[in-house]
Amino acid sequence: MAVQMACGLFLSWDMATSLLGIQTAPIAWVWYELVQLGAVVGLILGTAVSAMLLVRSVRGRREAERSLRLASGAFMEVLAERFDDWALTPAERDVALFAIKGLSTAEIAALRSTSEGTVKAQTAAIYRKAGVSGRPQLLSLFIDELMGDGLALPTETPPQSSSEDLAAQASRTESGTISSAR
């Protein structure tokens, strides 16, 4: 780009001096022609490089758009699979989708032409079927699955403890029981 700018400035100065009749220091004609030829070649190469970068940029944008479409499709597939797993009714599917999109209960009720109480009952059924306690956990189920990091809701299984940990817990429990009995 800097080469293009320098070449363009040289040719512009050359044309301006010719048109305005400004006298410049004379140089040998051969050198003058070589400099002009170099400026033209620089402009042509700059244009070619710019065109190549533009093509790469357009290809990159298309690839990003394609990836986004694939991700959107994958997200909708994950939603459909989970909704099937949870045996959601068509109405619950609509409400769940609107909730995941971030709409409020009032907005969902208005879109579905139902009362807010109906939407609240449907969201409660969705959360129960999904095994979550609210909207943030529902959304995190899908985010975790798409990210592939396997961060699901915590399990009820306690972590494995060593025999020393178990002995320490037992002594604390006994001393706590004795203390509370006093």
The whole-number pLDDT of residue 89 equals 94
- Are 91 and 57 part of one and the same domain? no
Is residue 157 in some structural domain? no
Residue 96 — pLDDT band, cuts 50, 70, 90? very high
Alpha-carbon distance 26 to 49, whole Å? 33
Structural domain for 50, as ranges: 1-67
- Are 57 and 98 part of one and the same domain? no
Last residue of a domain, one of 67, 101, 117: 67
pLDDT digits (tens, 9 = 90+) for 13-52: 888 888 888 887 777 888 878 888 888 888 888 889 999 9
CATH of the domain at 146: 1.10.10.10
Residue 92 — pLDDT band, cuts 50, 70, 90? very high
pLDDT digits (tens, 9 = 90+) for 56-90: 999 999 998 888 877 777 788 888 888 999 999 99
Last residue of a domain, one of 9, 37, 67: 67
Cβ contacts of 140 within 8 Å, gap of 6 or more = 151
